[in-house]
């Protein structure tokens, strides 16, 4: 039986690759996608998500969610974020339509009706997930695991310390991090060690499927933007953050994790939105998060090629 998953996305080019991986992996059953304010305004994230599914010919229900963080105004957008994603993905306008139900209501209804077998995969700000937990805490016992792209220990991307998804809505992230359910966190520490290169993109183009070609186009744009604004560990390559979270469900060996305590700073003038990671052994608070400190780049890129080479 394929593993059921729900992706909560702020689509975005790396969310787009994550969505294609989840939709095209025979080992996964993508039950639905929920959208949230983040990389761009939520209605653009919704349109982008629909565009991705249309482009690869799959029908997955898309539910639009929160337009603002839980208790803050919308954060200003960085120029680098615009260069990496833009508002709308360079794919044909969507012909399929979003579902009428709000994402938070759908998450609650779906989890309450489930057999407790749907892994939740948030790869944007955690606003929808926190809102659902706050509104209906009884869903928690039906969520077997939450696999999150977010956070950083070594170095941030939105501030010196904070990663974008957590920084956008730290109050929401704090609720989720402390929810008591099993959490795997795929932070920048791991995604920055699993880069996709221009040579990899050339290989994806040669594979020739709609998903592989779309990925090549989007990742090449990411690489140009990273080289110009936000250099990765080497030039001519960039992280595709959200895709690594989906790959970690398919093959946990693609990341290396430590079981540690993680909380979220919600007010420091220099540290707002930082994931505070306690790596002390046997001291401090009990571990709550499997925190990825490393990733296997070769395995990740091979997984991308194998899955994106599939058609619906």
Residue numbers at the binding site for ligand RIB (CB under 6 A): 10, 12, 14-15, 38-39, 123-124, 149, 157, 163-165, 241-242
| The pairing of beta strand 289-295 with beta strand 183-186 | parallel
124 binds Ca ion (CB under 5 A): yes
Q: What are the distances in angstroms from CA 9 to CA 114, 255, 256, 271? A: 21, 21, 23, 25
Question: To the nearest whole angstrom, how small is the minimum distance from the Cβ of residue 285 to Ca ion?
Answer: 28
Catalytic residue at 272? Answer: no
12 binds Ca ion (CB under 5 A): yes
Give the separation between CA 173 and CA 185, rounded to whole angstroms: 11
Whether 276 contacts 264, CB under 8 Å: yes
Pick from ligand RIB, Ca ion, none: which does 169 bind, CB < 5 to 8 A by kind? none
Question: To the nearest whole angstrom, how small is the minimum distance from the Cβ of residue 121 to ligand RIB?
Answer: 11
163 binds Ca ion (CB under 5 A): no
The DSSP code sequence of 190-245 is HHTTSEEEHHHHHHHHHH--HHHHHHHHHHHHHHHHHHHHS--SSTTEEE-HHHHH
Question: To the nearest whole angstrom, how small is the minimum distance from the Cβ of residue 283 to Ca ion?
Answer: 33
8 binds Ca ion (CB under 5 A): no
Pick from Ca ion, ligand RIB, none: which does 157 bind, CB < 5 to 8 A by kind? ligand RIB
Question: To the nearest whole angstrom, how small is the minimum distance from the Cβ of residue 15 to ligand RIB?
Answer: 5
List 8, 10, 14, 189, catalytic entry: 10
Which residues are catalytically annotated? 10
| Binding interface with Ca ion (CB under 5 A) | 10, 12, 15, 123-124, 242
């Amino acid at each position: 039986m394929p593993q059921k998953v729900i992706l909560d996305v702020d689509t975005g080019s790396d969310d787009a690759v994550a969505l294609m991986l989840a939709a095209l992996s025979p080992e996964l059953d993508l039950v639905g996608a929920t959208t949230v304010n983040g990389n761009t305004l939520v209605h653009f994230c919704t349109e982008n998500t629909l565009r991705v599914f249309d482009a690869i010919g799959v029908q997955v229900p898309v539910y639009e969610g929160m337009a603002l963080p839980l208790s803050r105004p919308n954060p200003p957008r960085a120029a680098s974020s615009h260069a990496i994603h833009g508002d709308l993905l360079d794919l044909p306008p969507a012909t399929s339509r979003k579902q009428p139900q709000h994402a938070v209501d759908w998450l609650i209804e779906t989890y309450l009706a489930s057999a407790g077998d749907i892994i939740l995969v948030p790869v944007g700000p955690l606003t929808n997930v926190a809102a659902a937990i706050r509104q209906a805490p009884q869903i928690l016992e039906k969520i077997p695991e939450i696999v999150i792209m977010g956070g950083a220990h070594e170095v941030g991307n939105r501030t010196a310390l904070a990663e974008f998804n957590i920084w956008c809505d730290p109050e929401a992230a704090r609720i989720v991090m402390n929810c008591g359910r099993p959490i795997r966190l795929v932070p920048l520490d791991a995604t920055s060690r699993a880069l996709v290169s221009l040579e990899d993109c050339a290989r994806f183009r040669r594979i020739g499927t709609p998903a592989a070609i779309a990925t090549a186009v989007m990742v090449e744009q990411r690489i140009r933007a990273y080289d110009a604004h936000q250099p990765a560990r080497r030039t001519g390559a960039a992280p595709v953050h959200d895709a690594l979270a989906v790959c970690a469900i398919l093959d946990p060996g693609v990341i290396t994790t430590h079981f540690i305590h993680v909380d979220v700073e919600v007010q420091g003038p220099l540290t707002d939105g930082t994931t505070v990671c306690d790596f002390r052994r046997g001291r401090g608070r009990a571990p709550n998060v499997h925190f990825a400190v490393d990733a296997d780049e070769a395995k990740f890129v091979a997984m991308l090629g194998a899955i994106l080479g599939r058609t619906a």
